[in-house]
């Protein structure tokens, strides 16, 4: 899932959404903080970090507290895409 509002809709986010559509089912909608606390994994996208796994929000550990398989998979696919430019 990805937030629908109150988020910078940058180019890497667009690429990640395009990549995710090919490999995962996902939805774009508002996400509550409570949902984020209980996520199996989470990540941010940015120009400098590409895909940055989130392992903690406030004092809450996300998933197992380590970068998740999906985050790492999407980061690698984004790096592969960028390397072709």
* Structural domains counted in the chain: 1
Would you write out the chain's pLDDT as a tens digit for each of its 85 residues? 999 999 998 999 999 999 999 999 989 999 999 999 999 999 999 999 999 999 999 999 999 999 999 999 999 999 999 998 7
CA distance 28 to 30: 7
Report the pLDDT value the prediction gives residue 85, as an integer from 0 to 100. 79
Residue 65 lies in a domain: yes
Residue 1 lies in a domain: no
Residue 5 lies in a domain: no
Nearest 5°: CA angle at 52, between 36 and 33?
Answer: 15
Residue 2 lies in a domain: no
The β-bridge partners of 28 are: 2
CA distance 18 to 82: 13
Report the pLDDT value the prediction gives residue 84, as an integer from 0 to 100. 84
Q: What is the CATH number of the domain that holds 71?
A: 3.20.10.10
Residue 6 lies in a domain: no
Report the pLDDT value the prediction gives residue 59, as an integer from 0 to 100. 96
Range of the domain at 35: 11-83
Residue 4 lies in a domain: no
Report the pLDDT value the prediction gives residue 26, as an integer from 0 to 100. 87
């Amino acid at each position: 899932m990805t937030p629908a509002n109150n988020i910078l809709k940058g180019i890497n986010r667009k690429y990640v959404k395009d990549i995710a559509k090919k490999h995962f089912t996902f939805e774009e909608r508002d996400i509550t903080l409570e949902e984020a606390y209980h996520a199996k994994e989470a990540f941010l996208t940015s120009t400098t970090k590409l895909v940055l796994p989130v392992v903690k929000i406030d004092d809450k550990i996300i998933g197992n507290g380590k970068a998740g398989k999906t985050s790492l998979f999407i980061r690698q696919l984004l790096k592969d895409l960028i390397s072709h430019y």
